Structure 1
Amino acid sequence: MLGLRRKAMIAPSGQPIDHDAETMRLQLLGDPNLMAQIEQAQPEFASAARNDPARFAELLRQTRSQQQAAELAAKEELSLLNADPFDVEAQRKIEERIRQQAVLDNMEHAIEYSPESFGRVTMLYIDAEVNGTKVKAFVDSGAQQTISE
């Protein structure tokens, strides 16, 4: 039987690098727009992506761990809320969760189907002449989709 193993990548610090983290780091480095967004939102991530692959992998592991812990805590809280269906306070909290989820769903729908609502739209007007009359003309590309950068 033949077993295949990936060759472990080693950071300058001597620590092995997680392949998924390294792939993500290289994608960040290759996309200046994404890197600019990360720089604004998570400067420590951006710095680690540029200068310290092992630190980037560690930050990514920490973030994943925090997300998993938050998901587990939310599931446990929901289980406790569902334990007594006649508890008025628990029902209020469940109702609030449902309302918050509806808001998030509506936001996702809006971002998916109306992305122009979340960005700046620049209209193009030009000077034109129609039948000898000077007018300002609006240029319509006829695009059926919004292209966001």
Structure 2
Amino acid sequence: FKTHPNVLKELNYHNPKMAAVMRDSPEEEAVQVMRDHILAQGAAGFNRTYDANREETEMKNRLLTNPMDPTANEYFGRQIEQKNIMEQYTQTMNEYPETFARVLMLYIATEVNGKPVQAFVDSGAQSTIMSSACAERLDILRLVDKRFEGVAVGVGSGKILGRIHLVNLKVKGEDGGMGGEDVHLPCSITVMDSEKGLGDKNMDFLFGLDMLKRHRCSIDLQRNALVLNTMGRQVVTPFLQEYQLDTTKGGTRDFDADAANAELEKAQMDSVAEVEAAELAEAEAKSAEETGEAAAGTDDTTMTDAPGAGAGAGAGPGSGPGPG
């Protein structure tokens, strides 16, 4: 492990407690710990298999005795469901593995007042929306018409500060071929309170359906680009890639691998600590319960023996009334 850090990193991902022991222990002790771990895992696997086979045999016998047995039928129903799920999982992994990957949202590079801003293309948003913090950063918050303030209601609710009636939005076309030139779009923007507005504070500018329809835009996923048909010409602007987006937007531009690994390791260690604490609490509760049962048994024995002791004393010499 010490000569192959990648192997240790993989072990740390699956079993951080074991990885810490392997990293900090002397070689001979680490080897012995790994052997014990492998033996324990093998024994646990054997026990699981044995218990599963025993339960299946028991359920089969119950069905042979009573084909309408509800417990056995429920058991085999779960088995069939799990089998179907695993078959679908295997087929998806083999034929459509991309469905398990994270989907990158659609962003385009734009400029307002000469300042860059990444716009989230959202055909599900009725209006083009910008947070007040983003508007202030772009120096257009002063243009908000507060007569249009209100409350936006959708999945959640948010406070609308007003509306900016006209903003010059610069969209850059892709290099080479048709649509390689920049285009300036007149754009109306609804400004929402950053604290009580957009549900996701990382999406500070949404290019909504109103402007998509106004500029006859097409989301072309084959070219991975937004196609704008405006002012008599077509402009193609590519959607941003992961390396161009911050981690808050699902990208990797400011991704810190060391910090992410440290955070993951801490989370795993915290999870292990929680499991160990729960197991310890369960063991203590069980021990206390057993101690209580033993104490109750001792009290019962004492109460049972007491009458016998009194009878023995009464039967002894001089216990009865003496001669008159």
Q: TM-score, normalised by structure 2?
A: 0.30
Contact 2:174–2:180 under 8 Å retained in 1: no
Contact 2:11–2:19 under 8 Å retained in 1: yes
Aligned to 2:16: 43
Which digits, 9 at most, give the CA deviation of each residue in 1:2-60, with x for residues without a partner? xxxxxxxxxxxxxxxxxxxxxxxx5x96362x543431331123234434121012112
Paired residue secondary structure (1:136): strand
Q: Hey, which bits of structure 1, 4+ residues long, moved more than 4 A?
A: none
Deviation at 1:127, TM superposition (A): 3.4
Contact 1:82–1:90 under 8 Å retained in 2: yes
- Match 1:112 to one of 88, 94, 108: 94
Aligned to 1:129: 176
- Match 1:79 to one of 50, 53, 57: 57
For residues 75 and 64 of structure 1, what CA distance do their matches in structure 2 show? Answer: 16
Which runs of 5 or more structure 1 residues have no equivalent in the other structure? 1-25, 139-149
Which digits, 9 at most, give the CA deviation of each residue in 1:73-101, with x for residues without a partner? 00000000000221232111111122122
For residues 31 and 73 of structure 1, what CA distance do their matches in structure 2 show? Answer: 37
For residues 106 and 29 of structure 1, what CA distance do their matches in structure 2 show? Answer: 40
Paired residue secondary structure (2:91): helix
Bigger strand share: 2
Q: Does 1:97 align with 2:75?
A: no
Q: TM-score, normalised by structure 1?
A: 0.58
Identity of aligned residues (%): 15
Residues 1:64 and 1:105: Cα distance change in structure 2 (over 3 Å):
farther
Over aligned residues, Cα RMSD in angstroms? Answer: 3.1
Bigger helix share: 1
Which runs of 5 or more structure 2 residues have no equivalent in the other structure? 109-172, 182-235, 240-324
Larger RCO, structures 1/2 (Cα 8 Å, 6+ apart): 2
Aligned to 1:6: none
Deviation at 1:63, TM superposition (A): 1.0
Q: Report the residue type matching 1:103 in the other structure.
A: I
| Alignment size in residue pairs | 111
Q: Identify which range, 34-43 or 61-70, moves more after superposition.
A: 34-43
Deviation at 1:121, TM superposition (A): 5.7
